[in-house]
Chain A
Amino acid sequence: NAGVTQTPKFRVLKTGQSMTLLCAQDMNHEYMYWYRQDPGMGLRLIHYSVGEGTTAKGEVPDGYNVSRLKKQNFLLGLESAAPSQTSVYFCASQPGQGAIGELFFGEGSRLTVL
């Protein structure tokens, strides 16, 4: 049982390049989240999804887009990467109403934008 899997785990981009981070969960969870983790700032919510085909903005959505075409996948896209988006990105999923607040996290994806 893999849980929450993020790909890629590491990536280096040049300013202006685009990329997509993929998050896959095999637990049939309804809710999925993308956070970024920066030193001294903890985890900040970028976007989240409460079900297939739905997405919503979090605390720091600017510069990112997301899609949830399939229940098990949540994609995070950077259309034009900026150095300020250098960070560690974490995906998480949550079962649903019966376990609100209990998030299962991926291992993280370290992104460097030069």
Chain B
Amino acid sequence: AQRVTQPEKLLSVFKGAPVELKCNYSYSGSPELFWYVQYSRQRLQLLLRHISRESIKGFTADLNKGETSFHLKKPFAQEEDSAMYYCALLMDSSYKLIFGSGTRLLVRP
């Protein structure tokens, strides 16, 4: 069955420290993966997608098909990065986006 796993419910780091939010997926087809973010009192919004291979707000994520992972990374965390982060999987030939359970990132001053 298709599944997205985010093993950490909470990740707490100090400002300036590197951050890695883990995401693993289970899917036999050709996956498309996304990271969504929800800041306090804001709507859930798209952060980045693996197809674009872009860096948004200093975050990057690389799709590793061998390890079925799509970890989100940032070399130096900022306090404004504190938010809820969701990894999501889009199954091919489908319009369904499946989300993981989310990881709350807390960046301490």
Contacts and interface: CB of A to CB of B under 8 A. Distances in A.
Interface stretch (B14-22, B57-65, B93-101): B93-101
Interface class of chain A by DSSP: strand
B90 interface: yes
Contact of B96 (A45, A104, A105, A106): A45
Contacts of A103: 36, 44, 46, 97
Interface residues of B, number: 21
A31 interface: yes
B46 A59 contact: no
A50 B95 contact: yes
Given A105-B45, A106-B43, A107-B43, A100 B90 contact: yes
A103 B24 CA distance: 21
Contacts of A35: 99
B31 to A, nearest CB: 11
A78 to B, nearest CB: 21
Interface residues of A, number: 24
B44 A90 contact: yes
Contacts of A104: 45
Contact of B88 (A58, A59, A94, A101): A101
Contacts of B46: 101-103
B94 to A, nearest CB: 9
Q: Which 10 A-B pairs have the closest CB atoms?
A: A42-B101, A43-B99, A105-B44, A101-B90, A105-B43, A42-B99, A42-B102, A101-B34, A102-B46, A31-B95
10 contacts: A33-B97, A40-B101, A42-B100, A42-B102, A43-B102, A44-B99, A45-B98, A101-B97, A105-B44, A107-B43
